[in-house]
Structure 1
């Protein structure tokens, strides 16, 4: 037992060192989380607010009608809604899950290793801060009305779920690096874990993310990195970007929004591949009270290569140190574990660990000696029928992702064409409407309302008393429909 504890201590110390010193640690981000701001952009929630809602009306190509996508976040009475630093903690939990291979929704950890992954100082205040953050995520409920994308089903779904189903925080596990790992644990909700397993993930430069000082820069980096998948240019309504993506105040005017965004933009221009743009191009007023924000990405720099003499060409140093810890957890001494990690390819080690676990789970017990010999002599190992390593799964998913990408490229071209067509139709309607005198506009609106679809007319009537954006949305739809019917 003493020997095993020493291995854990050395392995965890290696993780701590690598999480801070690794030059190109590859992380991952869940695509829905990159799109929706689950945490506030500030350090506190004003007026103890415990529920926020984001809503947008979009045209659904499959149903050929406008639909409302609504995301509601509700925090617990005791811990409230997540704040800005909680987003870092949630991402760190995703990195821990990645290191454990997405094998199960339950992830075991110690607060010490989570602090080191976050590069937070190892002190009592941060242990308490981490516990509070995990509890805020545990208490958060997410209500999705066509807002959460189910990658496996390839559709937007109505789902109500939490982030964590269970959480256990072992309050003594942060006292020193020698404390055994895995004392604390959290369990992902099945909706989120299924998204992980379905591969709805994107790469995230973890070291770059941690180096960003501005919360706006961090959130903008994740959002733009996702959107740049379709090309090096992103254009979005300024108000939508500020409120629905960055979680800035709805009361901000355009000038305040631009000031808030510029600090984060400047940091991404200096540390990332965001291309500087003239202010008139970055933010353009296209109509009264309507602004567009534009972003461009520089051509990607060639990734720095850090060759490893041992042949570890896939996993970075952070991953290799975690493999040493995994070997010690399976009964291999720290010295042999270090030797294996230093001399064998990381993919081989990972595959043999998976094979070792597969045998033992079936009751066909294999000892540490089998694992050592399998790693040293992988050519002598024949994978049994029914076993599939993560490398094999990754190759299969890569082929599947390639097919999906071709499909997305085709859909993207269709979306651009449809967007251009819709823009021309909107410009024609705007020119027509602006040329009518007020009296004629009133008559036209009465005719349009009388011939509108019942659902649209009902929405118009319900929203008319309150006015605001929802009413203007229904009114514009009804007017445009009648214009296109009669022009």
Structure 2
């Protein structure tokens, strides 16, 4: 078999506003945010939770002559992901110049940073990760176990003094990362803001917060605030300390900078010792680089956070998808149960809607976006798609009705986590809730229905559901 030739060198990225971040990488934080780590640190293992409350164990190990990825390695990985997009998400390796990668990562053209770049690439290539049922695959919507190095293949030329600006670097990102990027499991990342942050830990905290900020399962696609045990938050960021006071001291400069730049409006530390909690309240919601395109999506029922994400990732698809959507609903005979979800599908999978009956694609850039559809009923053009949606909803209802034992418990806990109810319950109350659902003394499905209805009423209504659960559980306390 002939050897696949690397793609052409990726264009230089200098000032691009919104770039991209793969959501698994952003949320799992595979690279320690600390600027430096002990020279003997060759392995770590951490346990974190996915946004839906699933526990995940992540292990990182490196050879004896290496140290685990940390600090600037985050920045070089962000640069590689965005250069990979510029190269067209190639099937095989792609090439960049060392100067191009340095600038794409936001660093000046100096000998110090060229040394850092070479060391970082080697670490990213040598470090092996195992993620136990925590890597999300968008197609089948499943959590998978993956083992890989983030930079799957590495080749570069160096002079006697090391890597120089003209050195050619050839890389290939790990297959699961590439699959995820191609599937659109990505979010916007404000590269100008990212690069404006002063230290690796500040950038790591921002990247982690920003990845968790976007959550399609919430009512508007955005999380408004995050709370976590301080030690668990440190573990997530790769801060290697077992003392809460040291963690709080380490995080303070990063937190202060994010507050000063108004990315977050409030950061609160409560509790004492290892029981400390940290709470972040996000600032104004993101608007992205294409607010008009995001508005086209919002007016048609797409959640705000999803609209920002899609308009940043697929700006060239939005207007045509909106026109197809408007045609779809105007020529229909039955209402669309989830218009926002339909439009999201049209943006993400345009090939599935290429042959709409009676639709004539507009000429590129010659037709203004169609006005949003109004009215209480929105019909669809084809019964097969409606039937498919209704069948899917019916299958889900049947599946949930058949759950029992641990499967039912897992489903209830996952749904209540997504709906924001679990955050208002203590650790002991969560344990009692698990026991009550397992034993059948509490109707978990009914609680999920109440929590779902409460979401539209905001935090007070969600807290009221949590209080009802707490009242029920109080009789189980010793």
TM class, shorter-chain normalised?
A: 0.5 to 0.7
Equivalents in 2 of 1:257, 1:92: separation in Å? 28
Q: Equivalent of 1:249, from 235, 240, 261?
A: 240
1:110 is the counterpart of 2:97: yes
Equivalents in 1 of 2:423, 2:122: separation in Å? 48
Q: RMSD between aligned alpha carbons?
A: 4.3
CA pair 82-486 structure 1, distance change in 2 beyond 3 A: closer
Q: Where in structure 2 are there 5+ consecutive unaligned residues?
A: 1-7, 215-221, 293-314, 318-344, 353-388, 397-411, 433-472
Higher relative contact order (CA 8 A, sep 6+): 1
Deviations 1:324-358 (A, max 9, x none): xxxxxxxxxxxxxxxxxxxxxx969xxxxxxxxxx
Alignment partner, residue 466 of structure 2: none
Alignment partner, residue 55 of structure 1: 47
Structure 1 SS opposite 2:31: coil
Shift of 1:153: 3.1
1:41 is the counterpart of 2:33: yes
Mapped contact 1:112–1:174 kept (Cα < 8 A): no
Q: Which moved more, 1:217-226 or 1:287-296?
A: 287-296
Deviations 1:202-256 (A, max 9, x none): 110111111101333211111111222232111112111011x221123222x32
Mapped contact 2:243–2:274 kept (Cα < 8 A): no
CA pair 170-274 structure 1, distance change in 2 beyond 3 A: same
1:119 is the counterpart of 2:111: no
Shift of 1:175: 4.8
Equivalents in 2 of 1:207, 1:414: separation in Å? 36
1:35-434 to structure 2, matched below 5 A, reads 35-56=27-48, 69-171=56-158, 175=164, 183-229=168-214, 230-243=222-235, 245-253=236-244, 255-277=245-267, 282-285=268-271, 289-300=274-285, 395-397=347-349, 414-416=416-418, 419-420=421-422, 423=425, 426-427=428-429
Mapped contact 2:225–2:282 kept (Cα < 8 A): yes
Q: Which moved more, 1:187-196 or 1:293-302?
A: 293-302
Mapped contact 1:168–1:186 kept (Cα < 8 A): yes
Greater radius of gyration (CA): 1
TM-score, structure 2 as length reference: 0.57
Structure 1 SS opposite 2:263: coil
Equivalents in 1 of 2:122, 2:87: separation in Å? 22
Mapped contact 1:79–1:132 kept (Cα < 8 A): no
CA pair 425-79 structure 1, distance change in 2 beyond 3 A: closer
Equivalents in 2 of 1:109, 1:59: separation in Å? 34
Q: Where in structure 1 are there 5+ consecutive unaligned residues?
A: 1-7, 62-66, 308-345, 349-392, 431-481
Equivalents in 1 of 2:28, 2:423: separation in Å? 28
Equivalents in 1 of 2:423, 2:252: separation in Å? 32
Structure 2 SS opposite 1:145: strand
Structure 2 SS opposite 1:77: coil
Deviations 1:382-407 (A, max 9, x none): xxxxxxxxxxx99334899xx9xx99
Equivalents in 2 of 1:37, 1:168: separation in Å? 25
Q: How many pairs were matched up?
A: 318
Mapped contact 1:152–1:195 kept (Cα < 8 A): no
The answer to which structure has the higher helix fraction is 1
Equivalents in 1 of 2:182, 2:290: separation in Å? 28
Structure 2 SS opposite 1:156: strand
TM-score, structure 1 as length reference: 0.56
CA pair 192-417 structure 1, distance change in 2 beyond 3 A: closer
Q: Equivalent of 1:25, from 6, 14, 17?
A: 17
Equivalents in 2 of 1:69, 1:263: separation in Å? 29
Shift of 1:155: 2.0
Mapped contact 2:42–2:68 kept (Cα < 8 A): yes
Mapped contact 1:50–1:75 kept (Cα < 8 A): yes
Shift of 1:299: 2.2
Mapped contact 1:69–1:145 kept (Cα < 8 A): yes
CA pair 96-416 structure 1, distance change in 2 beyond 3 A: closer
